[in-house]
Amino acid sequence: MSAEAPHVKGGLGQSILRKEDARFIRGKGNYVDDIKLPGMLYLDITRSPYAHAKITAIRTEKALKVPGVLAVITGKDLAAANLAWMPTLMSDKQMVLPTDTVMYQAQEVAAVVADSRYAAADGAAAVEVDYEPLPVVTNPFKALEPGAPVIRTDRKEQSNHIWHWETGDKAGTEEAFRSAEVVVGQDLYIPRIHVSSMETCGCIAHMDSVSGRFTIYMTTQAPHAIRTVYALVTGLPEQNIRVVSPDIGGGFGGKVPVYPGYVLASVASIKTGHPVKWVEDRSENLQADSFARDYHIHAEVAARKDGTVTALKVKTLADHGYTDAAANPSKFPAGLFHIITGSYPFAKAFVEVDAAYTNKPPGGIAYRCSFRVTEAVYTIERMMDILAHRLKVDPAELRLKNFIPPDAFPYKSALGWTYDSGNYAGALKKAMEIIDYAGLRREQAEKRRRGELMGIGISSFTEIVGAGPSHTFDILGLKMFDSAEVRIHPTGKVIARFGTKSQGQGHETTYAQILAEELGIPADDIRVEEGDTDTAPYGLGTYASRSTPTAGAAASMAARKIREKAKKIAAHLLEVSPDDIEWKDYAFRVKGVPTKSKTMQDVAFAAYTNHPQGTEAGLEAVDYYDPPNMTYPFGSYICVVDIDKETGQVKVRRFVAVDDCGTIINPMIVDGQIHGGLTMGFAPALLEEIQYDENGNIHGGSFMEYLVPTAVETPHWETAKTVTPSPHHPIGAKGVGESATVGAPPAIANAVVDALQPYGVEHIDIPIHPWKVWQIIHAGAPKTG
């Protein structure tokens, strides 16, 4: 920004420090577990050691004798109140506590309420449960075989098949494949992973029996939706329910679902009349909270010999655990998986997904990705590399040849999405230039001659975020708008409240910046609040990179409504007609006489002290923004890896990420989102995975086994941007919270596979452990002519 260009302090495009960090870096955040209410009790949970078993008896006597234990809640108690099961977002149902059968290891079996956390833990250990083990199915393919043990015997359909969904032109796609010059196909498994946010889940539920008010402090990404769901499920009047989402230590989709613990704490409070705190520990979080991914994908690409892609066919088996509790508000059971045509103009495409029950925890959350976009991007970006390999062309060249061109936007994909804007070649070329792609390929060729293993991987992803337009999205009927309520005080300072809820994204800063830009008031003078349903306007919460596309847009719209009214006041102050006033360079100015002007601060004071007759006093507005379309951020990532041939260890030497998220509100925050997202994309590519053995025992249920990357392994990220604004967003912004998580895994996988080309491999399932690489190297190069 040049010094003389008019700007407002903390407006758009400025890397101002995050307002929230003042408290976070001092350790003064206020998380659920920091909150202590008078008379508060503690709840702990007894969990199942079996993945599938009949419960033949639950004996609570010993637990009730533990000093400090006040109550034990079992499934039978809940069944009496019709609360043993709760609905899921996907029209399935989930147990709060089982009455007769457990369906995954670590499932909640009983809840113990005590006057201290220690007594509650001792009580939970003292609950005696008799189990009769049942046959276990953990593999979804086996779950669908005839004769497989039926997990959900409560359902009418006595089968483990949940649903089948398909979209696209089946016949046309088949035809395109029949006439294709080249076809490549690959099985890809994207393993079960976990968001493992720094803060685990928890709540304090308080039913005040005198006032009839129910308050719950809760680690939730969507407080208003929770309030309405509670009202609908419990019958409590909605005005008597208050959901408070205080500071949240990471959500990533994992804090969208309603977990049994929340319901149990609520029941316990109703039962005891005391506030009841439940905070899960790390193992409970990893073992029982919703997982992400777990998609078994078969993809095929049809192309011409010159590399032009023509058709895409995808068949997927989704493992949903024992219930479909996916946190997916779209109208499609597999979420937005059909963004899978990616950055390429496939003329024909067909996608089908089947979902199966297994003896695993439920979920299917969109871990830092809008509802199966990671799965889609990984698939298409791996397939493009496989096609390049088969055709013996450079993967960058193949992408550049195929990209949807900039002038084709808005672009309607074969599977029905309308991409808002993009310049895919621009991003890839920029990344290639920064990393010196040609130089790297030369270096690689030399190294190959010496027998050294170096790989270069590209991912040119297209994201789809900002759920979403009400024609495509809802949560139990609630449309997916979001909201801003902006009020300017007499002294020109602002309070603004939103229906979203930051979990670390920095809303207190970025929303203030949008408002600063729109209102001409420094960001420092704008206070942003979220997360208390008593004060915030109704909104659907924060996930799916939706906050900027929805609530960020609402901030602009509300500010513009304020400007409309403020203009009249300014005209009154300047003694001209409102038609003679324009908003220019952050002030109301008399057209043609720009020195005659009033700032928003002048107007705000007048709004309370000297408002024109016929206008209401005060200066505020509310906006509920239902986005007309999704936003489609994109980018190109290039990764360079070196491989230790003796040990199979993969080292990411360089990683260049060029992102395009449209208009940038705060470059530093965007970079922070990219850094975190890249690390969360690096993790499943090389480290993270939750596995189960055939008895349904979890492997990866603690941080001893579930290896979250540390600063030591995390590569040095090199970031850059291109800017292609969204045409339909008030400030042209797209979401950016998830791009990197979505875009990074295939870049890394592609780089490793590229490094191993001398061994003839086309695919390795992630996470790429050293032993997988070693096995390939150890097996030796194929004897080809």
Partner 1 sequence: MIPPAFEYYAPHSVDEAVALLRRFNGEAKVLAGGHSLIPLMKLRLAEPAALIDINRIPNLSFIQEEGTHLRIGATTRTNDLLDSELLRRSYPILPDAAQEIADPLVRNLGTVGGNVCHGDPGNDLPACMLALGAELVTVGPKGSRTLPVSDFYKDTFVTALDPTELLVEVRVPKARARQGSAYQKIEKRVGDFAIAGAAANLLLDASGRVETAGIALTGVGPTAILASAASGALVGQSPDDQHLGHAATLAGTAADPNSDLRGPAEYKRAMASVLTRRALDRALARARGGG
Q: Shortest approach of partner 1 to residue 191 CB, angstroms? A: 12
Q: Which of 178, 408, 778, 779 binds partner 1 (CB under 8 A)?
A: 778
Q: Considering the complex, state which of residue 364 and residue 648 has its C-beta at the smaller distance from partner 1.
A: 648
* Minimal distance, residue 276 CB to partner 1, in Å: 17
Q: Does the footprint of partner 1 cover residue 282 (CB under 8 A)?
A: yes
The overall longest dimension of the chain from CA atoms, in Å, is 91
Distances (CA, A) of 217 to 289, 428, 478: 18, 45, 22
Which of 368, 399, 497, 563 is catalytic? The answer is 368
d(CA 774, CA 776): 5
Catalytic residue among 201, 203, 369, 661: 369
705 binds partner 1 (CB under 8 A): yes
DSSP per-residue string spanning 77-116: HHHHTT-SEEE-TTS-EEESS-SSEE-STT-EEEEEEESS
How many residues touch partner 1 under the rule CB under 8 A: the total is: 29
* Of 35, 434, 707, 723, the one binding partner 1 by CB under 8 A: 707
Residues recorded for the chain: 785
> What angle do the packed helices 739-755 and 373-391 form, to 10 degrees?
30
- Tokens 């009927």 belong to which residue? 477
What separation in angstroms does the CA of 604 have from each of 311, 565, 584, 621? 58, 10, 17, 13
- Residue 100 CA to residue 106 CA, distance in Å, equals 15
Q: Contact at 8 Å (CB) between 160 and 354?
A: no
State the Cα torsion 520-522-525-526 to the nearest 10°. Answer: 70
The single residue among 2, 82, 613, 710 that binds partner 1, judged by CB under 8 A, is 710
Q: What's the closest the beta carbon of residue 707 comes to partner 1, in angstroms? A: 4
Is 687 an interacting residue with respect to partner 1 (CB under 8 A)? Answer: yes
Which of 128, 174, 281, 529 contacts partner 1 by CB under 8 A?
Answer: 281
Nearer to partner 1, 282 or 441 (CB): 282
Under the binding rule (CB under 8 A), the answer on residue 40 touching partner 1 is no
Stretch of 277-285, 373-381, 435-443, 522-530 lying at the interface with partner 1 (CB under 8 A): 277-285
Cα dihedral 582, 586, 589, 591 in deg (nearest 10) = -50
CA separation for the pair 572, 612 (Å, rounded): 6
Distance CA 696, CA 115 (A): 34
Q: Could you say which of 181, 306, 775, 781 contacts partner 1 (CB under 8 A)?
A: 775
Task: Identify the CA nearest to 694 among candidates 374, 360, 466.
Answer: 360
Q: With respect to partner 1, which residue has the nearer C-beta, 49 or 273?
A: 49
Residue 55 CB, shortest distance to partner 1, in Å, is 21
Judged on CB neighbours under 10 Å (0-12, 13-18, 19+), 56 is exposed
Q: Say whether residue 770 binds partner 1 (CB under 8 A).
A: yes
- Using CA atoms, how far residue 766 sits from 23, 308, 497, in Å, is 38, 27, 41
Q: Establish how many alpha carbons lie within 13 A of residue 776's alpha carbon, considering only the half-sphere containing its beta carbon.
A: 25
* CA-wise closest residue to 318 among 285, 292, 343: 292
Instruction: Compute the C-alpha angle 665/468/534, nearest 5°.
Output: 80
User: Which amino acid, 685?
Assistant: A
Catalytic residue list contains 738: yes
Instruction: State the nearest-atom distance from the C-beta of 84 to partner 1, in Å.
Output: 27
Tokens 């004996």 belong to 59
Task: Compare residues 452 and 532 and give the one whose CB is closer to partner 1.
Answer: 452
Interface residue with partner 1, options 700, 730, 743, 745 (CB under 8 A) = 700
Pick 304 or 699: Cβ nearer partner 1: 699
Binders of partner 1 in range 96-125 (CB under 8 A): 117-118, 121-122, 125
Does position 774 interact with partner 1 (CB under 8 A)? The reply is yes
Name the residue nearer to partner 1 (CB basis): 529 or 705: 705
Which of 14, 94, 107, 221 is an active site residue? 221
128 binds partner 1 (CB under 8 A): no
- Which residues within the stretch 640-659 sit at the binding site for partner 1 (CB under 8 A)? 646-649
Binding range to partner 1, per CB under 8 A, among 189-197, 498-506, 514-522, 701-709: 701-709
Q: Is 369 a catalytic residue?
A: yes
By C-beta, is 422 or 648 nearer to partner 1? 648
The reply to whether 713 sits near partner 1 by the rule CB under 8 A is yes
Work out whether 709 is an interface residue with partner 1 (CB under 8 A): yes
DSSP H/E element including 573: helix 553-574
Residue 448 is among the residues annotated as catalytic for this protein: no
Q: CB of residue 68 vs partner 1: minimum separation in angstroms?
A: 11
Name which of residues 729 to 768 contact partner 1 (CB under 8 A).
none
CA distance 773 to 777: 6
Give the CA distances from residue 422 to residues 340, 631, 657, in Å, rounded to whole numbers and listed in that order: 16, 10, 16
Distance (Å, whole) CA 185 – CA 709: 31
Residue 219 vs 460, nearer CB to partner 1: 219
CB of 121 or CB of 400, closer to partner 1 = 121
Name the minimum Å distance from CB 25 to partner 1: 19
Least CB distance to partner 1 at residue 782 (A): 20
The footprint of partner 1 (CB under 8 A) covers 117-118, 121-122, 125, 281-283, 646-649, 687, 691, 699-700, 704-705, 707, 709-710, 712-713, 769-771, 774-775, 778
Catalytic residues: 221, 368-369, 738
